[in-house]
Amino acid sequence: MTTFKTTCAGCGTVEIKADGLMLELGTSQIEGEYEFACSSCGLTQRRPANEQVVAILLAAGVPYIMGAGTVTETDIADFAKSLDDWLQEITAA
């Protein structure tokens, strides 16, 4: 099984096996991010994946999903506001 060297924010350089990675492709389908649990501390890490990294990860059999991107705090706040507006609308009736 292929092993990759990557970086954990807390531990530095770590080695992760291909089955310990998950690739999330962006809307372009040629770039995205990969996620892994650090082999030293266990914390989940996300790293950008350019076109070359995506090609290498896919060739090694890393599983992937088609994502729409990361959910931001603004996205969550907008969703919460829409729920508040909806609740006010249905309770006013």
Per DSSP, 18 falls in state: G
Res 29: pLDDT: 77
Res 88: pLDDT: 87
SS3 call for 13: strand
Cα 23 from Cα 9, distance rounded (Å): 18
**Do residues 36 and 22 make contact, with C-beta atoms less than 8 angstroms apart?**
yes
pLDDT (tens place) for every residue of the chain, 93 residues total: 799 999 999 999 999 999 999 999 977 778 999 999 999 999 999 999 999 999 999 999 999 988 766 677 887 888 889 998 888 888 886
Please name the helix (run of DSSP H) or strand (run of DSSP E) that holds residue 46, with its range, or none: strand 44-49
Residues facing residue 3 across a β-bridge: 17
Res 34: pLDDT: 95
